[in-house]
Amino acid sequence: MMLKNSLLDNSFIQYKHDNYSIGEYFEPKSSHPSWKNMGNTVHWIKADNPLLYKPLKLSLESTIQRLANEKLPNDKESRIELSFQLTKDYGFLYFPRHYERVYNDIKLNQHASLFPESDVDYQNDNLYEGETTDKWLRFISTLQYALKRFDDEDFYQSQRADDRFFNDTAVEMFINEVQPSFDFETQSISLKCDSLASACMLSIVTNKKHLKSCLQCNKLFYAKRSDAMYCNSSCGRNNQGSRRGKSKEL
C-alpha cells in the first residue's frame, strides 16, 4: 500500500478472505529430531480458501479507535475468540505483505524467468499459511501503549524503565516495517506500509501531522498545513523559478 501525497493517508487497502477457521496446532521448539515432541500448542487462524480474497478500504482512524477501546480479556479462550473475530472483521494483519511478495515475484518472472510453473501454480505453491492468535493480541497491546505514550506524559513517566524500554521497542518494531519508496516517473518519495499494523502505528506516531515530501528537494518534513508542498520558502522559490524557466523555453 503506497501512501501518496501527504505520505500518510487515513486509509489502507486490506484484503479479506471469504471465510476463516481456527484450530489448535502443535508447534515444536526445534526441527531437531530429539526435540520433535517438545513444544507448545498454538491457535492458528487460516483462510478456508487462501486464493479467494477481496480488497477492503479501511479507515485508519476508525480502526485505531476500535482497537484502542478493546479490552484485552484475561482468560485464554476469550483472547482467542477476540483475535478470531478481528480477523473476520479486518482480515489477516500481515496478508498484504504476502500478497505483494507473490505479486512482485510473478511480475519479475515475466522478465527473469525465475520459476518454470505458471502464475496460478506459483500462487498455489505459495499460499498464505495464516496467523496465530497472538499476532492481534500483541498488536493491540502495543497500539494501546503507543496512544497513551504519546498523549499522556505522566503515564509514560510512571512506567518502570524496563517496561518503557520493551514497550518502546515494540512500537519501534512496527515502525521499522514502514519503508520509503522512490517513484522514478514522478521523482517523489512515498512511504510504504505492507501491513495494517504498521499503517496504524505510523498514523499514531505522526499524530495526524502532515508528513510530506518536498516537491523541490524530496526531503521528508512535517507541514503545518495539509496543502504545503515545500519544506521551506527557499525550495518554494526555486521550484517556481524552475517552472518559469521552462515556460520561457517553450
Report the distance separating Cα 58 and Cα 15, nearest Å.
10
Amino acid identity, position 132 = T
DSSP state of 33: G
pLDDT at 209: 62
Rounded to whole angstroms, the maximal C-alpha distance in the chain is 78
Distances (CA, A) of 8 to 100, 175, 198, 209: 19, 13, 12, 9
Residue 152, SS3? Answer: coil
- Closest Cα partner for 195 from 10, 54, 1, 47? 1
**Domain residue spans of the chain:** 2-208
pLDDT at 182: 78
pLDDT at 242: 61
211-223 burial: b if 16+ Cβ within 10 Å, else e: bbbbbbeeeebeb
Report the distance separating Cα 191 and Cα 202, nearest Å.
10
Report the distance separating Cα 162 and Cα 66, nearest Å.
28
2 CB-near residues (< 8 Å, 6+ apart): 181, 190, 192
Report the distance separating Cα 150 and Cα 241, nearest Å.
40
pLDDT at 172: 93
- Closest Cα partner for 220 from 58, 60, 3, 13? 3
Q: What is the pLDDT along the chain (250 residues), one digit of tens a residue?
A: 433 434 556 789 999 999 999 999 877 776 667 666 677 788 999 999 999 999 999 999 999 999 999 999 999 999 999 999 999 999 999 999 999 999 999 988 888 888 888 888 998 999 999 999 999 999 999 999 999 998 888 888 898 999 999 999 999 999 999 888 777 877 777 778 889 999 999 888 887 566 677 888 877 777 767 678 888 888 988 877 665 555 444 4
